[in-house]
Amino acid sequence: MAPRADLLRLAAVADALLLLLATGLVVFYAPADAVQGVVQKIFYLHVPAAIAAYMAFAVVLVGGLVYLWNESPAADRLARAAAEVGLVLTTVTLVMGSIWAKPIWGTYWVPWDARLVSTLVLWLIYAGYLLMRRIATPGRQAARFGAVVGIVGFIDVPIVHFSVTWWRTIHPPIETAAPGALPPAMLLTFAISSLAVLLLAAVLIGYRYRLEALRERLAAALDR
C-alpha cells in the first residue's frame, strides 16, 4: 500500500528539476511588477504553497472519511502525513504573505482581516490535529477522533478561499485564471511554480507516509 520507493525517488528527482526551472523563471524570466516591483515575486511561492496546502488538507479529509468508513490504517496514515505537509505549507504561506505585506500594506499583519485570520485558524486547526495525534495513545479511538477533526477542520478551507469575496478584506482576490489577469510571462512562471510545489507536496506526503509505515512496523516488532 505504501508508495513504491523507486517511483517516489523518480518523482523527487523530477520535482527537483521542476523547482530549479521554476527558480530560474522567477529570477530571470518573470518581469517585475509595474506597481510593486520585485517584491511581487513572492507571489510565485506564496500562492502555490496555499494551493498545495488546500490539496494536502483535502487528502486529510478523504483519509478521514475512508477511515471512518472502513477503519483502514493506510487511510489514517495518509491523513496524518498530509496534515503535517499541509501545516508546513500553510506556515510558508502565512510567513511569506506577512513579509510581502510589510512593504505593500505597511504592516506585517492586519488584525481581524478575514483572509489572514481564517488562514491562521486553519494553521491552528491542523497544528491541534497533529498535537492531538502525538499526545493520544495510538489506536482506534485516536484515529477515529483524528478523522473527525480532519473532516470538520476542512470546513475552514473554503472559508479561507472565499473570505476575500465574502468579507471586506485588504487581501486581494486571486484572479490568475481570468483571461488577461496576468501577462503571459507571469502566468507561465506561476503555472510552473504551482506544478513544482504541488509535486513537492505529493512527494513529501509520500515520504512521510512511508516513514509512518516504518514506525508502525518498528512498534509492532518491538511489541513481539
Partner 1 sequence: MSYLIGAYGFAIVLLAGYVIYLVRQARSVAARMDEVEEGGPAAG
Among 21, 62, 65, 88, binds partner 1 (CB under 8 A): 88
- Dist. CA 95–CA 218, nearest whole Å: 36
Write phi, then psi, for 33 (nearest 5 degrees): -65, 140
Q: Which is nearer to partner 1, 42 or 147 (CB)?
A: 42
Compute the least distance from the CB of residue 148 to partner 1, in Å: 26
Write phi, then psi, for 112 (nearest 5 degrees): 65, 15
Compute the least distance from the CB of residue 97 to partner 1, in Å: 9
Supply the DSSP string of 94-145, one letter for each residue.
HHHHHHHHHHHHSSS--TT-HHHHHHHHHHHHHHHHHHHHHHSPSSHHHHHH
Q: What is the CA radius of gyration of the chain?
A: 19
Q: Which is nearer to partner 1, 181 or 219 (CB)?
A: 219
**Is-contact 51 198, C-beta < 8 A?**
yes
Distance of CA 187 to the CA centre of its chain: 21
- Give the CA count within 13 Å in the CB-facing half-sphere of 53: 28
- Dist. CA 115–CA 196, nearest whole Å: 25
Q: Which is nearer to partner 1, 100 or 126 (CB)?
A: 100
Does the footprint of partner 1 cover residue 39 (CB under 8 A)?
yes
**Is-contact 68 144, C-beta < 8 A?**
yes
Does the footprint of partner 1 cover residue 1 (CB under 8 A)?
no
Compute the least distance from the CB of residue 80 to partner 1, in Å: 13
Q: Which is nearer to partner 1, 82 or 151 (CB)?
A: 82
Q: Which is nearer to partner 1, 4 or 217 (CB)?
A: 217
**Is-contact 59 222, C-beta < 8 A?**
no
Candidate ranges 88-96, 125-133, 166-174, 187-195; the one touching partner 1 (CB under 8 A): 88-96
| String marking each residue 185-224 x if it binds partner 1 according to CB under 8 A | ---------------x---x--xx-xx--xx-xx--xx--
**Is-contact 86 56, C-beta < 8 A?**
yes
Considering only residues 92-121, where is the footprint of partner 1 by CB under 8 A? 92, 95-96, 99-100, 102-103
Among 18, 22, 30, 42, binds partner 1 (CB under 8 A): 42
Q: Which is nearer to partner 1, 41 or 80 (CB)?
A: 41
The contact set with partner 1 (CB under 8 A) reads 38-39, 41-42, 45-46, 49, 88, 91-92, 95-96, 99-100, 102-103, 200, 204, 207-208, 210-211, 214-215, 217-218, 221-222
